[in-house]
Amino acid sequence: MNDANNGSKLYLYSITTVAILGGLLFGYDTAVISGAEKGLEAFFLMATDFQYDKVMHGITSSSALIGCVIGGALSGFFASRLGRRNSLRLASVLFFLSALGSYYPEFLFFNYGEPNMELLIAFNLYRVLGGIGVGLASAVCPMYIAEIAPSNIRGTLVSCNQFAIIFGMLVVYFVNFLIMGDHTNPIIDKSAEGILSVNAASDMWSVQTGWRYMFGSEAFPAALFGFLLFFVPKTPRYLVLVHQDEKAYSILEKVNGANKAKEILAEIKATSKEKTEKEQRSKPIGRGHLLCLVNRRHAGLTRRELAVERLRRLHHHAVGLVHLHVLHDAGPCNVVALHIGEVGLQSHAWGDGVTAVVDGHHNHQSTAVFLRSHSILIAQVLGHAERVFVLDVANHDKHRLYATFHLEPT
């Protein structure tokens, strides 16, 4: 529907859907390790130049999160310098390179199928590369949607990005399950000295090939995401910031209609001007001056005391943000997403996949409930507690589950 007074809903939903694909890739890249980590561990346990242990495996499984921190820290810089759309293009390239590199880390420099320390470092670098893409997408995707969407449905469309993240996790659980097929996860033995090794009876397909397909599968949605980004516009706010008002108005007219486009453009220009004025006021007066604003409360302080006060406030803000991110990333959602194979029915190939799919469905259903303010946090904590309790009961009661499904635990 394209109404000159109301804009085109089809156009709005089309470009928003493309941006939401970035959220889907966020969830996909984060959770793909859950199905591949057993085969990956067995592969590097066969290395002859070093002993692969649980510490190394933990670092390898979570190496993408290092990239998430880097990508999140750089997202503001790229969004301002490259623009929102071009930052998403960069994220799609990083997703694609990470998928191919994780699928074939031996490319150019190593022999195929021969694990060693250098190959382990190369694999982790490819995962960090994907993590940077995740960090960019986590910040820029909702930013892009918020700057494109009309105010009356902005919250709903931005919430769809969170929905897409969980949906991406659900999708990759199914993909990993289908890739495994009739194959089984490798059997890891532990000696009396605590040394890990691959049991000779293990399915070597999952050791040499299965995990590669899981990581490589991400290349398809990443390529689609990058391709579709060539058909979406830059955001009106960014265009105003780079003094391209006519292009900004054209996009606003398509989304909101001609009547409202002028009003929104005026608001964007007013806020952009206010932001510019604030930045000008916060600039140092001369070389060596500190970025401090003197207010009434600090009027009697010296320059040194003002600097100390400013640093103290920045420290408190930084500590709060770090604690928030740690609580989020170390929460049960990510723990279960990354290590779902460790808590499920580990004796059969389909067990890990089914448990992962069930957990992904739980995430997907939980995200469909839209609450407000502190209720979101309360519901999230209760949801995490419920899920951990259910998984714990299932893990301790797995022998009864084996009997129910007529399986034989190993």
Tokens at 182, concatenated: 């009739």
- The torsion angle over the Cα atoms of residues 29, 33, 35 and 41, rounded to 10 degrees, is 160
Spell out the residues 6+ positions from residue 150 whose beta carbon is closer than 8 angstroms to its own: 7, 12, 255, 256, 260
- Looking at per-residue pLDDT, the higher value among 133 and 394 belongs to 133
Question: Is pLDDT at 367 greater than 80 in this prediction?
Answer: no
| Element of type H or E holding 190 | strand 188-190
Q: What is the DSSP letter of 110?
A: S
- What whole-number distance in Å separates Cα of residue 201 and Cα of residue 282? 67
3-state helix, strand, coil in the chain (%, to 5): 75, 0, 25
Mean per-residue pLDDT, 134-157:
92
CA gap 349, 406 in Å, rounded? 15
pLDDT in tens, 209-230: 999 999 999 999 999 999 999 9
Residue closest to 338 by CA, chosen among 163, 134, 188, 139: 134
Segment 85-110, tens digit of pLDDT: 999 999 999 999 999 999 999 998 99
**pLDDT for the residue numbered 16:** 94
The burial class, CB within 10 Å (0-12 / 13-18 / 19+), for 10 is: exposed
- The radius of gyration of the chain from alpha carbons, rounded to an integer in Å, stands at 25
- Lowest average pLDDT, out of 185-199, 219-233, 357-371, goes to 357-371
Q: Is pLDDT of 268 > 50? A: yes
Q: How far apart are CA 396 and CA 390, in angstroms?
A: 10
Residue 119 Cα to chain centre, angstroms: 24
CA nearest to 170, candidates 340, 332, 48: 340
> Span 170-192, mean pLDDT?
91
d(CA 81, CA 300): 39
Q: What is the rounded CA–CA span in Å between residue 79 and residue 83?
A: 5
Angle at 146 (CA atoms; ends 144, 148), nearest 5 degrees: 70
Question: Side chain identity at 300, as an amino acid letter?
Answer: G
Dihedrals phi, psi of 347, to nearest 5 degrees: -85, -15
pLDDT per residue as tens digits for the range 53-87: 999 999 999 999 999 999 999 999 999 999 999 99
Judge contact between 123 and 60, C-beta under 8 A.
yes
Judge whether residue 42 has pLDDT over 90. yes
